[in-house]
Amino acid sequence: MAKAKIAEPSPSSKILVVLLIVVSVAFIIGMGARTFGYIVSQGDGLLDDNAYQSITLTDGSRFYGNIDDIGPEYIVLDNAHYSSGDSRDELSLKPVKDTASESTGSVNINRAEVVYWENLQTDGVVTKTLSSNAKSLGE
């Protein structure tokens, strides 16, 4: 009985198989990292721990405070305040802590609702107001 000879794969098909394996492994690692929050953790180094931040939501509302954590689904904002004025001249910041829900002052904001966030200037009006409120609240 004669043995059937199996055709040897061409070099280009070998390269294609190796490339597919490498891309598949990279995709799986990337999805796992995103799922468990290792990607975009703390804003990819853009978060200034020494500054306050402003977060603008899809409905136009804004929250101010210190971003404590940027997770895959939520941003945690400590010392949270919200704007009750419509213009910069009428800016009035209210601590979330003073709301009827008796909040701890931290809020979890759904990342899907965030348009953008930014670090605030250390000598700006909002920063001075937040610092003043933090002192008066004993934080």
Compute the 3-state secondary structure of the chain and give helix, strand, coil in percent, each to the nearest 5: 35, 25, 40
Q: Is residue 4 part of a domain?
A: no
Q: How many Å apart are CA 128 and CA 132, to the nearest integer?
A: 6
Q: How many domains does the chain have?
A: 2
Q: How many CB atoms lie within 10 A of CB 26?
A: 10
Looking at the structure, tell me whether residues 83 and 99 fall in a common domain. yes
* pLDDT at residue number 98: 65
Helix (H, G, I), strand (E, B) or coil at 11: helix
Type of residue found at 138: G
pLDDT of residue 41: 46
pTM of the model: 0.61
Do 98 and 122 lie in a common domain?
Answer: yes
CB 109 within 8 A of CB 38: no
Q: How would you write the pLDDT of the chain (139 residues) with one tens digit per residue?
A: 667 777 788 888 889 999 999 999 888 887 776 665 544 444 456 788 888 999 999 998 889 999 988 888 888 998 888 887 655 555 677 777 766 566 677 889 998 899 988 999 888 888 887 887 777 655 5
**Same domain, yes or no, for 86 and 20?**
no
Q: What is the pLDDT of residue 89?
A: 54
Domain region containing 87:
46-136
- Residue 77 per-residue DSSP state: E
Burial class (CB in 10 A: 0-12, 13-18, 19+), 77: buried
